[in-house]
A = this chain, B = another copy of it.
């Protein structure tokens, strides 16, 4: 599952890079950043250095493969748009759940562990957007971070009830996936400040 999440995140970064007219190198960088930056940021904040995505080469290899795929076959990827959205949502849940468990392991209090779990899920996409000079989409209305947060909170609930990670992980990932896909299908948005421009 972790590999699937990495691959899906890398694909979403690479597709954005090709759409912005970046060169091959830029596309590969965006693929790696989107896939790895959330976990790297989590590990830096926990003091778990070097971060997993730097200490081992598998994230780089997967991201490079996804980047080359997106670079060479962009029309194909565009056709499987909903598959990419699905895997991206699954990856979000995976990263949120594993990030929360890792933060708890490092002794963080439950609310901060949930925050770091959510950050593991959304950090890569935020840096991807910063590097393409746009306001991170996650700050602008879709149910995305909230889905990651829901998975993180379910992990906390599981820990509080003394359930083992093997029991809690899949339902928590499923919750994130479901929230994300339903919100896309129904066009659910978070409220924006009612007083804007008044």
Report which A residues bind B (CB closer than 8 A). 17-27, 29-30, 40, 44-47, 49-51, 54-57, 60, 70-71, 74-75, 106, 108-109, 111-112, 115-116, 126, 130-136, 138-141, 145-146, 189-193, 195-196, 198
Copies in the complex: 3
Q: Name A193's closest neighbour in chain B (CB-CB).
A: B18
Please tell me if the beta carbons of A111 and B191 are within 8 angstroms of each other in the complex. no
Q: Name A29's closest neighbour in chain B (CB-CB).
A: B139
* CB < 8 Å neighbour of A134 from B19, B21, B133, B145: B133
Please tell me if the beta carbons of A131 and B140 are within 8 angstroms of each other in the complex. no
Tell me how far the C-beta of A189 lies from the nearest C-beta in chain B, rounded to whole angstroms.
7
Please tell me if the beta carbons of B55 and A108 are within 8 angstroms of each other in the complex. yes
Please tell me if the beta carbons of B141 and A131 are within 8 angstroms of each other in the complex. no
Q: CA of A56 to CA of B193 in the docked complex: distance in angstroms?
A: 29
